[in-house]
Amino acid sequence: MSTSDTPLLAARGLVKTYGTATALGGVDLDVHPGESVAIMGASGSGKTTLLHVLAGIVAPDAGSVTLLTRGASRVVTEMSETDRSRLRREEFGFVFQQGLLLPELTAVENVALPLMLGGHARGAAETHAAQWMAALGLAGLEERRIGQLSGGQAQRVAIARAQVAGAELVFADEPTGALDSGTSAAVMTALLDATLTQGHALVVVTHDPGVAARCSRTIHLRDGHVVDARTADPATAGGAR
Ligand code: ADP
Ligand code: MG
C-alpha cells in the first residue's frame, strides 16, 4: 500500500463561529507525511482557529478531523476532551510564538517534560532531551533557565520539546513571529529539518512569506475560507507598513 497517498490528518467541512464571527466557514485540508503546510492570511482570517481545531485544542461546530497514524483511523472531533488532551500531550508537538516554556525549569527539563509526563524516568528523559538539544545546536545550554536564553535559543528549546516524544504532527503558530529575520531563518530550518527528516508533518501559521516559501505547500485563508493564492488578500503578503 502506498503510504504517500494516505494523509496523516484529514479535515473535512470545518466550521467554527464565535458569536457573529465566522472563524472557519467550511475548511477541508489533508496533511501528508513529510509535508510542511503553511497557513497564511490576514489577521482574523481564521489561521489560529484552524490550527487549534486540527490539533484538537478547539472543537469545531461542524466538520471532522481524522487522524490516520499508528495504523488506525481516529476521529479527533469525536473524542472526549480527556482523550484529546492525551493525544496532544503524547502524539502532537506544539511550537507557539512565545514558546510556552516553563521559566522555573531549566532548558533540558523543559525539553524532557513531555517524556516525563508520558511516564519516562527523569534520567532517561533528560538524556534523550539533551540529544535533541544537541541536534538543534543547543549543546551546553541544558542547565540554563528560559530567561537566560535568547529568543532564537528559546524557540529551539520549544522545537526540541515538540520533537522529543516523536510527534508525527507538529503544529506551530507564528513560531518566528518574535524573532529577527536571520534568527527566524535558522529557527525555521531547525523546525523543518527536525520534522521532515523523520517523515513527520508540520502545519505552521505564519505572516512571513519567507517562512511560507520554505514549506512544501501554502494555503491562504480569507474570512474563514481557503482561497486561491492569486485571489488572497494582498494584505497577507504585504506585512505591516
Ligand atoms: P487569525 O489567527 O487568522 O488572526 P483567529 O483564528 O484568531 O484568526 O480568529 C478568527 C476570527 O474568530 C476572528 O474574527 C476572531 O476575532 C474570532 N475569534 C477567534 N478566537 C475567538 C475566541 N476565543 N472568542 C471569540 N472570538 C474569537
Ligand atoms: Mg492567529
Q: Which amino acid is at 235?
A: A
β-strand partners of 31: 9
Express each pLDDT in 105-117 by its tens digit. Answer: 999 999 999 899 8
- Which of these, 169, 140, 141, lies nearest to 54 by C-alpha position? 169
Measured in angstroms, how far is the CA atom of residue 117 from the centroid of ligand 2? Answer: 28
- Do residues 201 and 34 make contact, with C-beta atoms less than 8 angstroms apart? yes
Q: Is the CB of 23 under 6 A from ligand 1?
A: yes
Express each pLDDT in 14-64 by its tens digit. Answer: 999 999 999 999 999 999 999 999 999 999 999 999 999 999 999 999 999
Q: Is the CB of 47 under 6 A from ligand 1?
A: yes
Q: Is the CB of 26 under 6 A from ligand 1?
A: no
> Which of 20, 43, 48, 233 to mutate to test ligand 1, by most ligand atoms within 8 A of the CB atom?
48
Q: Is the CB of 77 under 6 A from ligand 1?
A: no
3-class secondary structure for 126-188? HHHHHHHHHHCCCCCCCCCEHHHCCHHHHHHHHHHHHHCCCCCEEEEECCCCCCCHHHHHHHH
d(Cα 116, Cα 147) in Å, to the nearest integer?
Answer: 22
Confidence of residue 197 (pLDDT cuts 50, 70, 90): confident
Mean pLDDT across 182-192 = 88
